[in-house]
Structure 1
Amino acid sequence: MLIKAIFLVATALSCTESYKILGIFPMPGISHYILASKLMKGLSEAGHDITMVSPYALKDLPKNGTFTDVVLDGMADDYFQITLKHVNRFEGDSKGHIASLNMILNRFIKIANDTLHHPKMKQLVDSDQKFDAVVMEQFFNDAHKVYAHIFDCPLILLSSIGPNSMVNPTVGNPQPVSYVPHLIAGDISKNLSLYNRAKNLYLYIEEFLFIRVFTHPKHDQIIHDIYPNSPALSQLYKNVSLLLLNSHISLNGPQPMVPNMVEIGGYFIDPPQKLPQDLQEYMDNAPEGVIYFSMGSNLESKDLPETKKRAILNVLGKLNQKVIWKFEEDLPGKPSNVLIRKWCPQQDILAHPNIKLFITHGGLLSTTEAIYHGVPVLAIPVFADQPMNAARAAADGYGLKLSYHDPDFNEETLTSLINELLTNSKYAETAKRKASLYHDRTMKPMETAVYWVEYVIRHKGATHLRVAGLNLPWYKYFLVDIVGSFVASFLLVLYIVKRIIKTVFCKTKIVGRMNKEKKN
């Protein structure tokens, strides 16, 4: 039996084809890099030959497959210098919504242009390498789709979040404005109010116009500045074979999805590892439990204004629980029950049995990890998708929220919310139920990602998965031509009836007048 099992395993391994896959991920955001590197490492571990383009060198190379790092030198430094110069990450930008959106889109246009012109990318294109697929994140970087054309292979997109207005048009996925909230709408109710539906519609239209009228022409221009013979962006934009979504129905709720959209939410989460000795002892010796506090990778707790920092410390210092706070510098005057660490193994902390609560900024990666481990959350959202994730945690019952910008952000409110989460068992119970839903899948998220990437390559782009609506013009998609035809026909019939009535009436009137004249 042992010999037979070894033979079957060897046969399976020999039948597994190794593909050459190019991953293009120049976005310097840390959370974006985590998602990108985890996916490419997973494909490498599955035995594939990976070339990954990013602003950072991979620290832990995969043990299987072949992994080539193409590091875009200077991209990360340039990005963070511009970001820190223009935006206070906690207080936001005072220029207003439209001006801020314009600035953000220009920043990503610069990243796209710098990537296309980077010497290492030019060298890669000139190397005449062959790839079986190009994988890239869909994040205001449509110019990078040209690489699938250059290397003549299927294009696979990764979305750091679930179905949304940034990715839906690339695969023709419907996005009903009446009940699917926009990413930054902040309302996840299943029955949106009239006001929120109107707000939803405005956000969808605003984004559509900005991207189609402002962003896409610029991306089209920068493509043709360096690759003049490339097809138009309008052709490249929808040439998508597969869209991988960092979402799951247990996290995001049900939404429409076309066949070539696949959910792999949580694929970036590794099995729990043993904690460093000091943290292990700290958490083991916590009879009242431990609270973990982190504002993520893009926000740093050290940048909190002094008033809010002191309010948080005063609240934490009164708790019976121990606290681990990811804080990026020394913190004078911290309470004795608060442990400061500049970096924390977040996933392993959340996996510890003594963890009672996760205080988080509400980023999708953090809320996903909380659900993975069944830990209730207090979300303090600041910007982007964080308010939506916080609202979902509160609506689903595994957490509470307090916006960073809320006028009631004070010691009293914080104390009340934390005490509610610690003393009311329904939040922890709901978090455990959410974890059960999350883990109940036919395959693990990374296995799902590997399977579908291989599937698309095996089937030469899997064009049979693409819906017909992808290439329909808007007036056909929304049946405007049919409605217009009905309206035109109806108006024509009304006109004809009116003319007939008018003609008959006029003739009757004339005949009546003639008869009257004869009598006279």
Structure 2
Amino acid sequence: MRYHFLTTLCLLAYTTNAIKILGVFPYDGKSHFIVIKVLLEELARRGHDVTVISHFPDDNPPKNYHDVSLFIPKKNNDSVEDAVKIERSYFGVFEVGVYLALSGKNDCEVMLANKDVQKLVNRKDKYDLVLTEQFNSDCSLGIAYKLGAPVVGITTHVLMPWHYKRLGIPNNPSYVSFHFLEGGTKPTLFQRVERVFFDAYFKTLYYLISQRSNQNELAKYYDDIPPLEDLAGQIKFLLLNHHYVLTGSTLYPANVVEIGGFHVGKPNPLSGELKNFVEQAEHGVIFLSFGTTVSLSLTSVEKIQAILDTIEELPQRFIWRWDKKTTLDKKPFNQLSQKHLDLLANKKKIYIGNWLPQVDILGHPKVLAFISHGGMGGTTEAIHFAVPIVAMPITGDQPANAAAIEESGFGVHQPINSLTKEDLVASLKKVLNPKFREQVKLRSKAWHDRPVSPMNSAVYWIEYAARNGNFTFRTPAATVPLYQYLYLDTMAVYAVFFTAVFLLFKSFCCASSRKETKKPMNNKKKKQN
């Protein structure tokens, strides 16, 4: 009886603390949402009522989890999945800027035109909090404003260029890693010049295309939405998918919380052919994946040959994630030699799949290294399981992540454009070295050594923001005018002061000089008299 009474009290307390959350995720990038979805489902499992606007409705949602689907078959089939070339170029960086701005515009239009979204907003249901991704659009902030709910932002990547000012975070190109470029925290002079230019480029496109069009699109439906940049500045917290063990110490204000690795759970045991392939690997396994956006069919045959020659030389087995568009009868694979084709057909050497349980693979003790494009999701998963990384960045935040991987000692950065068999073999031998792997294990231990797990931290701050929605936690650095932030007014005062002192001193010296010159002349006249 006593046990049941205590249980009832606990359940009542749990239910009392439950909050109503609206998740707004208009971006149709699957690699982003699969990370965030882990948090959304955990919130529902903890008793919170979670409604999610996204392109990815849950086929088997937990209790308290409700979908508002934005999925449009034709549009979602044309998304960025399996569409990026394996190469680095300035043209590609310019393309990313255009893509982000236009996708931010289109995502907002699709979401606001959705009848179910319109009904949700018009019902004016009471939500304790809106959780939304901070990426290529601020459109969701307009919905949060209409519902009168505090906002918590979340990222699956490093900060975008337009996030620094609104959050009051220093963005000095001499030591702050830049999202889309190499150099990390130790850039060369040329890389700093690059950063200043591309920072202006990305922010200009964002403000002129994405944010401006979002503001205009919201005005078609609602006539009272404040400037989106003002709403962005009122976000209660940003949950940032970073951790200083990887990305280094940075000056974040109190309302920016690092939750790097929050989505990584316990790995499930491998099964079937994959299980046999891994467990029968005498020398261990190397996992090779370029994520969900990169297509091997758009890769040069020389890069494929370099990878295959590396696989042939090393004793380890390889698991290789292929995209759905890639087949042996199409480029570049139909240009390979018979030797390379035979290697691909060797099921004791290479396991190929277009969908692979990445966390389960990386969590297996026989997996010794991870060849990756450097996406933040896979990077944090590899760090979680102490798997060294050979990072070959292609687009997005991958260059910044690759630099962080190398600087923090979790792996090496292998430039994709100069990829050769010799380079890749050397990189793999470096990370496979027992001493290197031991250092990665120590760093992974530091990654895990936190007072609160990243998932519990994320949940806590979401609940905290809901409980304290009337308060603001924004740093004054976010609102101080630029001329004050750069000391321009102070320097002007000092400049005027020292100029005035100099002029007064100069004037005094000139007056004294004239007086001294006059005295001898007067004395001479007296003598003549």
TM-score (norm. length: structure 1): 0.89
Distance 1:4 1:203 in 2: 65
Match of 1:229? 224
- Contact kept, 8 Å, 1:377 with 1:393, in 2: the verdict is yes
Could you tell me how far 1:104 is from its partner in structure 2? 3.4
Relative distance call for 1:18 and 1:181 in structure 2 (3 A) is: same
Match of 2:388? 376
- Contact kept, 8 Å, 2:24 with 2:52, in 1: the verdict is yes
Match of 1:51? 51
Aligned equivalent of 2:101, options 96, 102, 105 = 105
Match of 1:419? 429
Match of 1:325? 320
Distance 1:48 1:100 in 2: 36
Distance 2:168 2:483 in 1: 14
Q: SS at the partner of 2:230?
A: helix
- Contact kept, 8 Å, 1:182 with 1:200, in 2: the verdict is yes
Could you tell me how far 1:88 is from its partner in structure 2? 4.6
- Contact kept, 8 Å, 1:93 with 1:100, in 2: the verdict is no
- Contact kept, 8 Å, 2:102 with 2:209, in 1: the verdict is no
1:457 aligns with 2:469: no
Distance 1:145 1:82 in 2: 23
- Contact kept, 8 Å, 1:28 with 1:55, in 2: the verdict is yes
1:246 aligns with 2:235: no
- Contact kept, 8 Å, 2:30 with 2:81, in 1: the verdict is no
Distance 1:59 1:256 in 2: 40
Matching residue's letter, 1:419: K
Matching residue's letter, 1:417: S
Which structure carries more relative contact order (alpha carbon 8 Å, separation 6+)?
Answer: 2
Q: SS at the partner of 2:170?
A: coil
Aligned equivalent of 2:441, options 426, 432, 436 = 432
Relative distance call for 1:340 and 1:302 in structure 2 (3 A) is: farther
Relative distance call for 1:39 and 1:502 in structure 2 (3 A) is: same
Match of 2:78? 81
Distance 1:100 1:348 in 2: 31
Matching residue's letter, 1:425: P
Match of 1:171? 167
Relative distance call for 1:311 and 1:507 in structure 2 (3 A) is: same
- Contact kept, 8 Å, 1:244 with 1:261, in 2: the verdict is yes
Could you tell me how far 1:102 is from its partner in structure 2? 3.4
Relative distance call for 1:499 and 1:121 in structure 2 (3 A) is: farther
How many aligned positions are there? 509
Could you tell me how far 1:392 is from its partner in structure 2? 2.4
Name which of structure 1's ranges 76-85 and 247-256 shifts more when overlaid on structure 2. 76-85
Distance 2:388 2:204 in 1: 38
Distance 1:504 1:366 in 2: 76
Could you tell me how far 1:7 is from its partner in structure 2? 4.8
Aligned equivalent of 1:494, options 491, 502, 514 = 502
Q: Which runs of 5+ in 2 are unaligned?
A: 329-340
- Contact kept, 8 Å, 2:150 with 2:465, in 1: the verdict is yes
Distance 2:159 2:457 in 1: 17
- Deviation string for 1:298-348 (max 9, x for gaps)? 113344333322332232134322221112355454152111112111111
Matching residue's letter, 2:262: Y
- Deviation string for 1:403-424 (max 9, x for gaps)? 2212xx12232233333333x2
Could you tell me how far 1:376 is from its partner in structure 2? 1.3
Relative distance call for 1:162 and 1:93 in structure 2 (3 A) is: closer
Could you tell me how far 1:206 is from its partner in structure 2? 4.1
Distance 2:420 2:390 in 1: 14
Could you tell me how far 1:490 is from its partner in structure 2? 2.0
Name which of structure 1's ranges 163-172 and 289-298 shifts more when overlaid on structure 2. 163-172
Relative distance call for 1:80 and 1:513 in structure 2 (3 A) is: farther
Distance 2:197 2:5 in 1: 61
TM-score (norm. length: structure 2): 0.87
Relative distance call for 1:493 and 1:113 in structure 2 (3 A) is: farther
Could you tell me how far 1:8 is from its partner in structure 2? 4.6
1:347 aligns with 2:383: no
Relative distance call for 1:324 and 1:100 in structure 2 (3 A) is: closer
1:338 aligns with 2:346: no
Match of 1:188? 184
Distance 2:5 2:145 in 1: 41
Aligned equivalent of 2:121, options 125, 134, 141 = 125
Q: SS at the partner of 1:314?
A: helix
Could you tell me how far 1:220 is from its partner in structure 2? 3.0
Q: Which runs of 5+ in 1 are unaligned?
A: none
Matching residue's letter, 2:496: A
Q: SS at the partner of 1:476?
A: helix
Distance 2:7 2:188 in 1: 56
Relative distance call for 1:92 and 1:5 in structure 2 (3 A) is: farther
Q: SS at the partner of 2:234?
A: coil
1:13 aligns with 2:11: yes
Relative distance call for 1:198 and 1:107 in structure 2 (3 A) is: same
- Contact kept, 8 Å, 1:387 with 1:403, in 2: the verdict is no
- Contact kept, 8 Å, 1:294 with 1:301, in 2: the verdict is no
1:474 aligns with 2:482: yes
Match of 1:33? 33
Q: Percent identity?
A: 28
Matching residue's letter, 2:310: V
Matching residue's letter, 2:428: I
Distance 2:470 2:448 in 1: 30
Distance 2:184 2:237 in 1: 27
Q: SS at the partner of 1:356?
A: strand
Name which of structure 1's ranges 448-457 and 203-212 shifts more when overlaid on structure 2. 203-212
Q: SS at the partner of 2:502?
A: helix
Matching residue's letter, 1:342: N
Aligned equivalent of 2:294, options 299, 308, 315 = 299
Matching residue's letter, 2:75: D
Q: Aligned Cα RMSD in Å?
A: 2.8
